[in-house]
Amino acid sequence: MKAFSVFLFVLFILTGCSQNEDQVITSQPSKIRFLSTSKATYEESKSDTFSIKLVLDKPSKKDEVVELVFKGTASLGQDFQLITPSPLTIKAGETSTLIKFKINKDANAENALENCIITLKPLNGTLVVDNNSSIEFEIVETPAKSIIGFEFKTLDIEESSEVKVRLKIDKPLTEDVTILLENQTENQYYRQNANSMYCVMPAGKTETTVSLNLMDYRPTKGRNLFYNLKIKSIDNDKIDIDIEKQAIAIRAIDANQGLLLTIEWEGIADIDYYEIIDKQGSRSDWEYTHKGSVSVQNLQEDGLYYLKFKASKPLNKKIPITIIAQNNTTVPTSTVGKYKFDFKDTNDSLALKIYKQGLNYTIIPRDVVIVPPVGIG
């Protein structure tokens, strides 16, 4: 009986020890670590979104809170964004969680490569950090793009068949760049001196020229003398278009003055008004003038026109008038003729007849004495 009592006492002690050992094992805190410690690299230009996984060696019986500590040359909020709140909570019974990030496009010029090191800081005493307690990722900054645009936003020039405008780029590229241009002008006589609206910026160069034909052989007297050229697109992601100089507005001064008339007269009356009418009597052009030069322009259609003078007051006698006519639509300027006649009727619509054929003008005189150079046309 005594031996049996000793056996029960020993068994009781062993059982108690076993229970104490179980209590020690179950009270060990959970360990947290990064699932992987391999370093990843992300491009700033792609605005990547990515996740990093945290794991526990065993589930915890309560919620665990972990703070994320960031170090390195990449700045939180500027270079990257933390989507998952920090501190983060791992729910009781769970063995893993994800930390989500987003790479930001940073407008500031910085180092070509930036890094971020994340370490874990448990805020509960029931959680400890395992060996894989930190992880690093890198951000490759987007290279600064080259900027391209026209040299000028506006340009005033003389009409010409060979006008060159420059396109400039602030940093040269190692490959040729094809630029698609767009003509935004209604004047059909102005165009690019090429078979297409493309031009090329050669590799290694910082400028190229576009050749334009801005010659309107009509005497247009200030009408339709604008040419607007715009960079439509560039198929190269290394280049941005300068919005301020994406287009150039060119104002061309009319090189064709039409039929230039130098008018001289005698007497006290001023002939200060004239007009051009066509054979139907429609007014095509008119202008105030005193003794001097006037130009007959804006006659777009071929045909017969009449030059009609008006005096400033009724005339009591005939006024001798001399007209020297020069054709300014060709280079060099050609003299059409010199004409003298007496003018009296203030509504005389047959003071001079003008026949227009293409760029040439012919004067058909009435009561005109022709003086050298002899001949018309």
User: Which comes out higher in pLDDT, residue 52 or 294?
Assistant: 52
How would residue 254 be classed by pLDDT, with cut points 50, 70 and 90?
confident
Predicted confidence (pLDDT) per residue in 114-159, tens digit: 999 999 998 877 888 888 889 999 988 777 789 999 999 999 988 8
Per-residue confidence (pLDDT) for residue 189, from 0 to 100: 84
Mean pLDDT for all residues in the chain: 79
Predicted confidence (pLDDT) per residue in 296-318, tens digit: 665 667 888 887 777 777 777 77
Retrieve residue 169's tokens: 């780029």
Per-residue confidence (pLDDT) for residue 133, from 0 to 100: 84
Predicted confidence (pLDDT) per residue in 195-253, tens digit: 789 899 999 999 999 999 998 877 676 667 889 999 999 988 889 999 999 999 999 88
pTM of the model: 0.50
Predicted confidence (pLDDT) per residue in 332-352, tens digit: 677 777 777 777 665 555 567
- 84 three-class SS: coil
Predicted confidence (pLDDT) per residue in 7-63, tens digit: 555 555 555 554 444 444 446 888 999 998 889 988 887 677 899 999 999 998 889
